Amino acid sequence: MRNGEGENGSWFQCSVGHEFSAADMDVRTTNMVDAALATALRVLDERAALCADFAGMAAGDHDGGRQTYWQELQFEIEMKAKVVAGLINRGWPDPSGK
């Protein structure tokens, strides 16, 4: 990211080359982070559900080794999802400092 001063105040340039005011850049980057976190949480939740399905199939096949693998992977993914959910639920500090 690049930044500079112009006749209308500070400007910031994103990696694509678009220029924004400081306020616009703040809003845009905040929205991008929120969208990325929401996507990450959705994918992690879907992957955990997939692991649960695979563990169930392994159990039906009486394959304890595969069942354990998928259960452990599901647990790890669920832990990561909790971290991401915590970041989402935490929100952002009030820019006014209050």
Q: Is residue 3 part of a domain?
A: no
Structural domain including 46 reads 42-90
Global pTM reads 0.81
Q: What is the pLDDT of residues 43-82, one digit of tens each?
A: 999 999 999 999 999 999 999 999 999 999 999 999 999 9
Quick one: tokens of 3? 């930044």
**Gap between the Cα atoms of 92 and 40, Å rounded:** 18
For residue 23, is pLDDT > 90?
no
Please give the tally of structural domains in the chain: 1
Per-residue pLDDT at 40: 98
Per-residue pLDDT at 98: 64
Q: Is residue 70 part of a domain?
A: yes
The pairing of strands 19-21 and 9-13 is antiparallel
